[in-house]
Amino acid sequence: MSACVFCRIVAGEIPAARVFEDDACLAFLDIGPLQPGHTLLIPKKHYERLTDLPADEMARLGQVLPRLARAVMAATGAAGLNLYQTNGAAAGQVVPHVHFHLIPRRQDDGLGFRWQAGKYGSGEMDSWRARIAAAFQTEAAAHERHADTITL
């Protein structure tokens, strides 16, 4: 993935202000921070979207995220923190490599998030619940079949 900027950072081809690194993941400061201390956490292996990420890779990132969040907050003196992750251009993903933004927040820091909550019509919520639950069951069954084909 030589064209991927994050893969190039992992490979050391592009410099980055690294704050944490292990065999599976890398955390570094965002070069276009929304706030000082804005940090990115990425898997070292290339996966474009969260939906492509194997469970064991996500588990490793999940082990690091709380510690990294505490470190960012302690170092910046932030009162809060946003964890932000996007998948696909329609969701605002600019770099096609899974990454998590840890953005330190202060009261009245001028950052915001447009959350324009809607409402479900009569019966619509249950319809969406059923569709998502069915898709999840299909995914779970596919995962189970895949796990059965793995031999050690």
Domain ranges (residues) in the chain: 1-107, 121-152
pLDDT category at 141 given cuts 50, 70, 90 is confident
Rounded Cα gap, residues 68 and 41, in angstroms = 9
102: which strand partners? 39, 83
Cα torsion through 136, 141, 143, 144, rounded to 10: 140
Q: What is this structure's pTM?
A: 0.88
**Fold (CATH) for 1-107:** HIT family, subunit A (3.30.428)
pLDDT at 152 over 50: no
Averaged pLDDT score across all residues of the chain: 92
Mean of pLDDT values over 47-57 = 96
Identify the pLDDT of residue 115.
83
Please tell me the distance from the alpha carbon of residue 102 to that of residue 25, in angstroms, as a whole number.
15
Average pLDDT over residues 78-98: 96
pLDDT value of residue 112: 84
pLDDT of residue 124: 95
Give yes or no for residue 22 having a pLDDT over 70.
Answer: yes
Q: What's the pLDDT score for residue 73?
A: 97
Identify the sign of the CA torsion 31, 18, 6, 106: negative
Q: Which residues are catalytic?
A: 99
Whole-angstrom distance, CA of residue 92 vs CA of residue 77 = 28
